[in-house]
A and B are shown apart, each in its own frame.
Chain A
Amino acid sequence: AQSVTQLDSQVPVFEEAPVELRCNYSSSVSVYLFWYVQYPNQGLQLLLKYLSGSTLVKGINGFEAEFNKSQTSFHLRKPSVHISDTAEYFCAVSDLSAQGGSEKLVFGKGTKLTVNP
C-alpha cells in the first residue's frame, strides 16, 4: 500500500519569496506522482505530474517539482510566489502497475500555503 507524507501542514511566506512544499511517499511498487492545488471553495486542480522521463517536472503557474527516487520525494517549488498562490496543495501517488482500470490516488494531508504581502 502507498502512503504520502506532507511534513508541513502550513507554510507562510512573503510575496516574491521562493517556496518549497515537501512531499515524501512510501510504496512497494513504482508510482506516478502528482501535485494538486485547491483554492478556497473549489475542487482539485492538477498542477503537475510525473509519469516517467525527466525527473524535473514543470507545471502550471510557474511551479515545478523534482522526483527523487532514492529519497522517495517529490518536492514542489516555485522561485517567486504571488498572493494568488495562496491555496492548499496536495501531493498524491498512484500505483503504476494497477490492474483492472483503477489507479486510485492516495493523497497526503495537504499543505496550506499563505502568501503575505
Chain B
Amino acid sequence: EPEVTQTPSHQVTQMGQEVILRCVPISNHLYFYWYRQILGQKVEFLVSFYNNEISEKSEIFDDQFSVERPDGSNFTLKIRSTKLEDSAMYFCASSGEVDQPQHFGDGTRLSIL
C-alpha cells in the first residue's frame, strides 16, 4: 500500500537555526497537510496546500514557517529561526480528494536545543 514518507525521523537543531522537514506524499494525491504534536498534547493543524498554494493555515503557522512543493514529489516545511517551543513531532499528510481520508507519515521528531 502506498505510504507517506517523512525524513528525517529525528532532527536535532540549535535554537535560531533553520530547519527543513521533508515529506513525500502518496504519488497521485493532490492535497497536502502539516500537523504537529507537542509532547503530551493533541495533534494540531498547521497548514494545508493545494494547487501549489496554501489553502488554509492556523494561527500557529506564523511568518517563521513556510511550505513548498519544489518538484512533483516532495512537500517541505521550513522553520526559519527555530525556538525551543517548536520542539514537537511534525506529521505530513496527504489525500487524493478533498472528501477522502488523510494518510499520515510516521512523523519527524524535532528537538530544539
Q: List residues of A whose CB falls within 8 A of some B CB.
A: 32, 34, 36, 41-46, 49, 51, 90, 92, 96, 98, 100-110
Q: Which residues of chain B are near A100, meaning CB under 8 Å?
A: 50, 55-56
Interface flags for B11-41 (1: CB within 8 Å of A; 0: not) read 0000000000000000000110101000001
Q: Which residues of B contact A (CB under 8 A)?
A: 4, 6, 30-31, 33, 35, 41-45, 48, 50-51, 55-56, 58, 91, 93, 95, 98-99, 101-107
Contact B31 A101 (CB under 8 A): yes
Cα A45 to Cα B91 in complex, Å, equals 12
Q: How many A-B residue pairs have CB under 8 A?
A: 68
Task: Tell me whether A98 and B104 are in contact (CB under 8 A).
Answer: no
Please name all residues of chain B whose beta carbon is closer than 8 Å to the beta carbon of A104 when the two chains form the complex: 33, 45, 48, 56, 58
> With A and B bound together, what is the CA distance between A65 and B77 in angstroms?
34
Known: A102-B50, A104-B56. A43 touches B105 (CB 8 A): yes
The secondary structure that dominates the B interface is strand
7 further A-B contacts with Cβ under 8 Å, apart from A36-B104, A100-B50, A103-B98, are A43-B105, A101-B31, A105-B33, A105-B93, A108-B42, A110-B42, A110-B43
Measured CB to CB, the closest approach of chain B to A22, in angstroms, equals: 16
CA separation between A90 and B93, bound complex, in Å? 15
A46 and B101: CB pair below 8 A?
yes
* Known pairs A42-B106, A44-B91; A101 contacts B51 (CB<8 A): yes
**Contacting pair B43 A107 (CB below 8 A):** yes
Assembly CA distance A105 to B50 (angstroms): 15
How far apart are the CA atoms of A81 and B11 in the complex, in Å?
Answer: 35
* Selected A-B contacts with CB under 8 Å, 26 pairs: A32-B99, A34-B101, A43-B106, A43-B107, A44-B104, A46-B101, A46-B102, A46-B103, A49-B101, A90-B42, A90-B43, A96-B99, A101-B31, A101-B48, A101-B51, A101-B98, A102-B31, A102-B48, A102-B50, A102-B55, A102-B98, A103-B95, A104-B48, A107-B42, A109-B41, A110-B42
